[in-house]
Structure 1
């Protein structure tokens, strides 16, 4: 709030230019013919006008500051403007009435003021104050709009970051839980050597998982390196029953996507399909002309259907919505299940 108040006082250059200009134009437009009657030199008339404008500007400016202290927010614009309008009318009218009375009683210009001249002077003062007040309020509204806009953008970024962090926290235990299930299967089958190898690989993959998961997006090349290591872990259990084919255009490797996107698609394929040497589960990862990375697998559903909350696909879709990117495209047939995920163009440096 202090910024909104001090910003209104940062008008040194506006006053340095505005006061002499209003004094000059006001004296020339409204009083040039009248001034010729008393025969004073123009510079002396201008000095009197300059003093009047300076005093009136200062008094009007004080009212502007007070209005902002009382009604500082954008939603209080109406109250602030009404306060200023009443202030300007009363103060300007009183100020011009007093100065006119002084000129009238002292006859400094060589003549008495008629009631019409009093009204004329008050009207001129109000007419000169209106554009000044409009500029002040216009700049103040613009500044408030900018502050509101950037605060909204900052809040949006903070919300985005919070939601993405929440999604990340969902992925970590989910991935670990599935890995431990695989390890449990190896132990129960008394495959000690494979279990030890699996633990070593798991520690390496999970370390990479934690590191990459601290970023909003990562290059496709990094995600594919992780996928190869991840599938190697899966092959510890499934051996030849799991086949991976990667056919990605070299120029697409620098494109980006949210971390673990492809991993979740591979994990879903393994979770919902039979994987055996007799009926291998084949997973293909490739890029298309629309700048998508596509993950497709042959459908061979397990006899006992696995209960799914579709967290993986929902997680990916949520990340793309939060990043303000196109939706993922899911295409399913009797024999295949395919998901196309948009890639984000690399930022040019």
Structure 2
């Protein structure tokens, strides 16, 4: 069994994983922010009382820098924990809620501890009243609010930027996939084969088969042209399209191609990227011998893990068929861009298999 790694993808298909938990690159923010918080905090909250007790403003600033450094470090740790637990853009409320709880508890404990230390040591020349304890805790929380807002603002901007650009990339890949599929179907050999097959049916007076063939051909092209309307489609609709596509191929290959579908009914409402199954069928037909004496069997079935397994017998053509693996790359890229489990590819001496994750309707 093998999963596609980063090296499998061409350069244009390499992108960041959505919602990565990165180290905080905030060195300069701390170097500039800690002195500013200490200076303005002391100036706003403690300048008047220091003057009344003859204390040096700058001594208070130095002590404030030490306090701000410790408080900033504790707050920063809470920010990192919140991002690890709730990294997604859709989890912003939970992340901010975690941070608020963290800041209130840790700041209250920290400021109570430092106030108690100053009270007992008479560092500032006076005892602290109960209201002074409350005042110090409130001042600490007031100073933490802008710090937290800056960190969260930067994080939200980066997440929005990643989401936006990956959504644009997904649109491009969808369009490219549809274009490649459409190009594959309008290639001269496909049209000539289709027209020759249709001509043969007409000459043999197989009117019913000819009508069915035209209907399937129309269904295939209509689906190809309309599949760009949404990034995901239900498994039921995708299977309907694949059956029409297989019927087209069976008109040419007759008993040389077989499709077996064994999907749990409750999974038909699940979703997957459009044209996924068509590309897997196309890949199987392209690289394997298809004949009445050596039939190619493609089996599509579901498992307990809400996956669709596409399995085909492996009977490779003697002549190597050129391939850039664009179809498999596009399928995998779509799942990765949607931050969903990647497809899994397995190959033995007798079979080739692709495990395609199905997405629950409520996650779409």
Short-chain TM bin? 0.5 to 0.7
Tell me the residue number matched to 1:230.
245
Deviation at 1:210, TM superposition (A): 3.7
What is the aligned length? 260
- Does residue 310 in structure 1 map to residue 263 in structure 2? no
Helix, strand or coil at the partner of 1:279:
coil
Alpha-carbon separation, structure 1, partners of 2:174 and 2:44 = 61
Tell me the residue number matched to 1:137.
143
Tell me if the contact between 1:241 and 1:278 (Cα under 8 Å) persists in the aligned partners.
yes
Q: Can you give the 5+ residue segments of structure 1 that lack an aligned partner in the other structure?
A: 1-72, 102-118
Q: For 2:350, which of 329, 332, 335 is the aligned residue?
A: 335
Deviation at 1:200, TM superposition (A): 6.3
Larger radius of gyration: 1
Alpha-carbon separation, structure 2, partners of 1:147 and 1:133 = 22
- Does residue 76 in structure 1 map to residue 29 in structure 2? yes
Q: Given the superposition, is the C-alpha separation of residues 131 and 343 from structure 1 closer, same or farther in structure 2, using an over 3 Å criterion?
A: same
Tell me if the contact between 2:253 and 2:291 (Cα under 8 Å) persists in the aligned partners.
yes
Q: Can you give the 5+ residue segments of structure 2 that lack an aligned partner in the other structure?
A: 1-25, 55-123, 203-209
Deviation at 1:77, TM superposition (A): 4.5
Alpha-carbon separation, structure 2, partners of 1:157 and 1:279 = 47
Helix, strand or coil at the partner of 2:299:
strand
Helix, strand or coil at the partner of 1:225:
helix
Deviation at 1:224, TM superposition (A): 0.6
Alpha-carbon separation, structure 1, partners of 2:307 and 2:50 = 76
Tell me the residue number matched to 2:101.
none
Tell me the residue number matched to 1:278.
293
Deviation at 1:281, TM superposition (A): 1.8
Deviation at 1:197, TM superposition (A): 7.8
1:60-87 Cα deviation digits (max 9, x unpaired): xxxxxxxxxxxxx995354233124234
Q: For 2:220, which of 205, 230, 238 is the aligned residue?
A: 205
1:273-296 Cα deviation digits (max 9, x unpaired): 122233322211111233221111
Tell me the residue number matched to 2:179.
173
Alpha-carbon separation, structure 2, partners of 1:76 and 1:226 = 55
Alpha-carbon separation, structure 1, partners of 2:295 and 2:157 = 53
Alpha-carbon separation, structure 2, partners of 1:98 and 1:277 = 99
Ranked by relative contact order (alpha carbons within 8 Å, sequence separation 6 or more), the top structure is 2
Q: For 1:155, which of 161, 180, 202 is the aligned residue?
A: 161
Tell me if the contact between 1:298 and 1:336 (Cα under 8 Å) persists in the aligned partners.
yes
Tell me the residue number matched to 1:185.
193
Q: Given the superposition, is the C-alpha separation of residues 188 and 91 from structure 1 closer, same or farther in structure 2, using an over 3 Å criterion?
A: closer
RMSD (Å) for aligned C-alpha atoms: 3.7
- Does residue 86 in structure 1 map to residue 101 in structure 2? no
1:149-174 Cα deviation digits (max 9, x unpaired): 33333223223312211221221221
Deviation at 1:221, TM superposition (A): 1.0
Alpha-carbon separation, structure 2, partners of 1:185 and 1:257 = 30
Alpha-carbon separation, structure 2, partners of 1:91 and 1:245 = 76
Deviation at 1:191, TM superposition (A): 3.2
Tell me if the contact between 1:186 and 1:192 (Cα under 8 Å) persists in the aligned partners.
no
1:277-331 Cα deviation digits (max 9, x unpaired): 3332221111123322111112222221101111222222222222333332222
Tell me if the contact between 1:298 and 1:337 (Cα under 8 Å) persists in the aligned partners.
yes
Tell me the residue number matched to 1:266.
281
Relative to the length of structure 2, the TM-score reads 0.60
Tell me if the contact between 1:219 and 1:255 (Cα under 8 Å) persists in the aligned partners.
yes
Alpha-carbon separation, structure 1, partners of 2:330 and 2:362 = 24
Deviation at 1:229, TM superposition (A): 1.7
Alpha-carbon separation, structure 2, partners of 1:273 and 1:163 = 32
Q: Given the superposition, is the C-alpha separation of residues 318 and 158 from structure 1 closer, same or farther in structure 2, using an over 3 Å criterion?
A: same
